[in-house]
Every structure is written in C-alpha cells, then in structure tokens.
Amino acid sequence: MQRPPDNPSGLTEAVSRPMVVVLRFVFFLLIFYLLLSIAAGLLMPGQEVGRYALVTVIGQNCEDLQERLRPFNVNGVDYRVIPAEMGEIEFELQGGTVCWLEISGVPESGVGAAAAPLYDAAMNKTTGPLSMERAYQPRFGQVETIAIWLLSFLLAAIVLALRLRKQRQEADSDT
C-alpha cells in the first residue's frame, strides 16, 4: 500500500496546531488551579471574623487604639484595628476616627470567652460599636494563591508534555 504524497501544510493548519496546544495548556492550567484551590480550601479552611465599627476618642487614631488594646489581649486572640473607609459608615464624627476592630474566630453566637477581655477593653476605650458584622475570610492569602498558580502551571506543562510525547510516539509507530 502506498502512502499518499505529503501535501505542504497550509496556513490554517500551521496556525491551528499551536493554538490547539495553547488551548489544551490553558484548559489543564485552569483545571489544576480549580482542583488545587478546592484542596487548599478544604485543608486550610478560613474562619469567621467579627468586625466591629468603633469611634476612637478625640486625637486618637486606629494604630493608637490597637496599641492600647494589646495589654488586654490576655488570651492571644488574633485581632487588628484598621481605619474604615469614608463611605463605609455614615456617622457624624466629632474629632474621633472610625475604625474596624476585627477579631478572628468570633462565632455566630457572639464574642467568646477568649476574646471577651479584648472586646470589653475596646468598648471601654471608644464610644462603642456603631455596627457589627460577621465576615468569612479565607485563611490562605496572596502567597498561597501565587503558589497554587505556579503549581498549576507546572502540572499543566508536565501533563501537556506527556500527552504530546505520547502522540509523537503513536505517530512514529504508525509510520
């Protein structure tokens, strides 16, 4: 049996082959990113964070409040005090600053025993809460996300290289 003569590949075929490889790579990259993100979410679950809007006393900013609360954190609770954006809370200020007190691990039922001394100190050192929110924050941050992307990139490249190698071997064995 004779092989048909080799036709010179056209422009469409010359463009489509690399595009198919690129699309396969993107497909594997996204699949691995999705799977690794799900695994990271299951292995490193986030936690609830209680957010409390507070108004500091006159002449005090959020960093000062965080330092003043440090001695009251007797149980080592993760917390931070950050300034609120101007549009977040509508409140008439009289010399104070609006800050968010974020306490990690606050359950739905309210402030637990571990965070109670910190919460009470914050209420005594400010004009009290304006609003309270609960927010879920994922535990893994920017560094972990970059690591997931890089690992996905590596796995996608390996899988694609193995598939292309297998296709070449099959093509060589057919001839």
Pairing state between β 98-104 and 79-83 = antiparallel
For residues 112-130, b (16+ Cβ closer than 10 Å) or e, as one string?
eeebebbbebbeebbeeee
* pLDDT given for residue 136 in this prediction: 44
pLDDT tops 80 at residue 108: no
* pLDDT given for residue 161 in this prediction: 94
Mean pLDDT of 48-69: 81
Q: Which residue has the higher pLDDT, 33 or 11?
A: 33
User: How far apart are the C-alpha atoms of 161 and 164, rounded to whole Å?
Assistant: 5
Mean pLDDT of 41-68: 79
2-28: per-residue pLDDT in tens? Answer: 665 565 567 777 778 889 999 999 999
pLDDT band at 69 (very low <50, low <70, confident <90, very high): confident
Q: Which residues contact 161 (CB under 8 A, 6 or more apart)?
A: none
Mean pLDDT of 60-72: 86
pLDDT band at 134 (very low <50, low <70, confident <90, very high): very low
Contact 50, 102 (CB under 8 A): yes
Q: Which range (22-36, 57-71, 121-135) has the least confidence? A: 121-135
pLDDT tops 90 at residue 41: no
Neighbours of 151 (CB within 10 A): 13
98: closest CA among 138, 132, 55, 63?
55
Average pLDDT score, the chain = 78
Mean pLDDT of 65-81: 86
* One-letter identity of residue 17: R
pLDDT tops 60 at residue 101: yes
69, exposed or middle or buried, with CB in 10 Å at 0-12, 13-18, 19+? Answer: buried
* pLDDT given for residue 23 in this prediction: 94
